[in-house]
């Protein structure tokens, strides 16, 4: 999944305008749960040398002085942020309304560009365009390091009624204020009379968006877009089976946020005839070798290229790096996210008029590749770096896919490559 500020927060709870004693008690309870989750499960028992007891005490004191639930939740988030680990996060109780800023943006190399603008949004009405370069969001200057945090703040912690974008062009910088669109949250809508039907329709849509998508040219070429590693064993085998019918295959893992380890192991094993070690899982108490089972005569043995970008993380990064280390094919595109740790999610419940859920994600293991190195913070550096220019984004050209197709034996123009997988709006 590409990390974007436009991600809507599926929500169910509206904290009152007045920050009551009961609200403060709830916040302190959430702090205790999050702090204990980290203390029990974090992969480094020494917590990188952080004085956790002191940090928790300071957060508790700050919540006692907080003026709002947003401020209190921010103190919990700041506590977890002191570990300097982007995987260990507080996921607060959801709100009563989903919000959508009307655009997607993504890091391309060291620059941030608008990649989608939704029709009818305030962003479209204000003149925001695909290909516009974003230098800052509100007071946050965007960089690879700041992008994820900015998305977390405005997408999860403190959704805003509007965002101020600083746009950069050859003629200089300009600012654009775009308003968010609000609508009742999924949970509220599911609770209405037709809620069961809407829940089912949404489930079908989500399942459809996670399907593998294909583009082929005879027996010579197949492109497979994999949005996430979330397939059943049967679905994974079907992908490998389709690949085996073609001489050259491009696996498009751009924007793929990772997924299930079983899916990763099964798909990756399908690229090799023999078993192979992919990484070591370095946990709190032990280190375990992780391997995949090769498919022998049922493996895909044709020419292979893998596409990654700044939104490729976790399992997609492991897949691409194994292809590199084993010299199995080419990796092209942009440097990947550098977000490769094993994470556990700990869910909690409180009661405010109704049952309310929140969670902590905690890093439980480091994953070190077969060469002994971790991809965390570094990402996969592609064999061939190909970054779309602003004009490519605006016109829908895909130079990375075109280059990858050529490497596996099929000539495709950037214009044709850009039409292979039409955009499907997650909204």
> In the 8-state DSSP scheme, what is residue 156?
I
Is residue 135 pLDDT above 90, yes or no? yes
- Dist CA 237 CA 203 (whole Å): 23
Cα–Cα dist 229/208, whole Å: 14
∠ at Cα 130 (128, 134), nearest 5°? 65
CA-CA distance, 180 to 16, in Å (whole number)? 21
Q: Are 104 and 114 in contact (CB under 8 A)?
A: yes
DSSP secondary structure of 47-63: GGG--HHHHHHHHHHHH
Q: What structural domains does the chain harbor?
A: 98-184 (2.30.42.10), 205-340+375-417 (3.90.226.10)
Overall average pLDDT of the 168-179 stretch: 94
Q: Which alpha helices (DSSP H) does 51-194 contain, by range?
A: 52-64, 69-81, 122-125, 144-152, 186-190
Instruction: Quote the tokens at residue 302.
Output: 């044709």
| Sign of the alpha-carbon dihedral angle for 375, 378, 384, 389 | positive
Position with higher pLDDT, 165 vs 149? 165
Return d(Cα 364, Cα 283) in angstroms, integer.
6
For 362, residues 6+ apart whose C-beta sits below 8 A from its C-beta are 37, 38, 41, 42, 87, 88, 343, 344, 345, 346
pLDDT higher than threshold 50 for residue 12: no
Pairing of strands 354-369, 89-91: antiparallel
Contact 247, 335 (CB under 8 A): no
Write the DSSP assignment of 203-229 as a string of letters.
HHHHHHHTS-EEEEETTTEEEEE-SSB
Spatial distance between the Cα atoms of 91 and 99, rounded to a whole number of angstroms? 16
Q: Strand 89-91 and strand 97-100: pairing? A: unpaired
Residue-level pLDDT at 423: 83
- pLDDT tens for 108-118 read 999 999 999 99
Closest CA to 361 of 184, 203, 152, 135: 152
Residue 95, CA distances (Å) to 16, 22, 188, 200 in order: 11, 17, 10, 22
Residue 192 confidence (pLDDT): 53
Give the per-residue pLDDT at 3.
Answer: 30
Alpha carbon 255 to chain centroid, angstroms:
7
Nearest C-alpha neighbor of 159 from the set 185, 141, 135, 124: 185
CA dihedral (43, 44, 50, 54) positive or negative: positive
Give yes or no for a contact between 80 and 360, defined as CB atoms under 8 angstroms apart: yes
Q: Are strands 133-137 and 140-141 parallel, antiparallel or unpaired?
A: antiparallel
Q: pLDDT, tens digit, for every residue of 140-157?
A: 999 998 999 899 989 888
Q: What is the pLDDT of residues 305-339, one digit of tens each?
A: 999 999 999 999 999 999 999 999 999 999 999 99
- Model confidence, pTM: 0.88
Mean pLDDT for 207-231 is 92
pLDDT at 218 over 70: yes
**3-state secondary structure at position 89:** strand
């Amino acid at each position: 999944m590409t990390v974007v500020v436009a991600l809507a927060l599926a929500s169910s709870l509206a904290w009152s305008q007045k920050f009551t004693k009961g609200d403060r008690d709830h916040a302190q309870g959430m702090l205790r749960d999050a702090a204990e989750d980290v203390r029990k499960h974090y992969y480094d028992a020494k917590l990188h040398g952080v004085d956790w007891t002191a940090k928790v005490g300071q957060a508790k004191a700050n919540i006692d002085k907080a003026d709002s639930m947003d401020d209190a939740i921010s103190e919990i988030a700041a506590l977890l942020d002191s570990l300097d680990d982007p995987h260990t996060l507080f996921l607060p109780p959801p709100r009563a309304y989903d919000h959508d800023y009307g655009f997607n943006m993504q890091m391309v190399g060291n620059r941030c560009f608008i990649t989608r603008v939704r029709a009818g949004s305030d962003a479209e009405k204000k003149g925001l365009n695909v290909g516009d370069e974003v230098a800052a969001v509100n007071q946050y200057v965007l960089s690879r390091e700041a992008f994820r945090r900015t998305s977390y703040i405005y997408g999860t912690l403190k959704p805003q009624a509007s965002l101020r974008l600083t746009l950069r062009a050859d003629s200089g910088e300009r600012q654009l204020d775009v308003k968010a669109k609000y609508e009742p949250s999924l949970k509220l809508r599911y609770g209405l009379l037709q809620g069961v039907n809407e829940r089912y329709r949404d489930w079908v849509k989500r399942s459809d968006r996670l399907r593998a998508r294909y583009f082929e040219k005879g027996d010579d070429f197949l492109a497979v877009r994999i949005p996430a590693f979330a397939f059943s064993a049967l679905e994974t085998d079907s992908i490998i089976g389709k690949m085996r019918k073609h001489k050259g295959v491009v696996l498009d893992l751009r924007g793929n946020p990772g997924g299930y380890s079983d899916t990763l192991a099964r798909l990756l094993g399908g690229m090799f005839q023999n078993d192979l070690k992919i990484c070591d899982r370095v946990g709190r108490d032990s280190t375990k070798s992780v391997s995949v089972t090769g498919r022998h005569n049922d493996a895909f043995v044709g020419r292979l290229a893998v596409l990654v970008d700044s939104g490729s993380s976790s399992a997609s990064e492991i897949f691409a790096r194994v292809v590199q280390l084993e010299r199995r094919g080419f990796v092209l595109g942009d440097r990947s996210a550098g977000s490769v740790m094993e994470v556990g999610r700990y869910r909690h419940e409180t009661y405010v008029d109704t049952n309310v859920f929140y969670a902590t994600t905690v890093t439980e293991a480091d994953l070190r590749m077969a060469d002994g190195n971790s991809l965390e913070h570094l990402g996969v550096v592609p064999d061939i770096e190909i970054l779309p220019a602003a004009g490519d984004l605006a016109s829908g050209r895909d130079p990375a896919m075109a280059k990858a197709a050529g490497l596996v034996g099929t000539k495709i123009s950037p214009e044709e490559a850009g039409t292979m997988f039409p955009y499907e709006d997650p909204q």
